[in-house]
Amino acid sequence: MKNKNLWRIVLPLVILAVLGGIWFFKNKPKDMTEQAKPPVNADFALHAKSIDLEKLKSYGLPIMIDFGADSCPPCREMAPILREVNAEYQGRVIVVYGDVGRYPKLAESFPLEVIPTQFFFTKDGKPYAPQNPQKLRMQQFLSKDTGEHVLTAHQGYLGKKQMLEVFAEMGVPDVK
């Protein structure tokens, strides 16, 4: 009789523990390495272990490359925005995130000073030239030899509203 009463208590507790564990693992916070949904083209994946800029430029789409790290609070704050924008604008803009904490060589060919930093290229593969760089807090890099505009960057946190302003100025149609 005592064993029967014990099982009436233990069995529901075990079932609750299993259900609680399932709920926890299904609802745990996503880290920056997870994506909202897989891209149609592997080259359009948000998270990059390597960046072939020439290949990305060959698609004829505007490009935004964001360098950050999981250990960086503003980068973690941008992570859901990047996932959302990458999913929403798939096929209109290439959005790439490079974790320089995990893959430091990703940024070797970029003048990366702080993280997060975003670099922008037009659909023609040229560096984005904002109409008002000061308003968008953009930095334009020129070649020391030729004076040619070679890169455009935004340093620091970039919110979705400002990101979409840049995309609109680059001629990207809105998702709506």
Would you please indicate which residues are annotated as catalytic (active-site) residues? Answer: 72, 75
List all residues 6 or more positions away from 138 whose beta carbon is below 8 Å from its beta carbon: 120, 128, 130, 152, 153, 154
Tokens of 148: 């040619």
- Are 43 and 91 in contact by the 8 Å Cβ rule? The answer is no
Residue 12 CB coordination number (10 Å): 10
Strand pairing of 138-142 and 117-121? unpaired
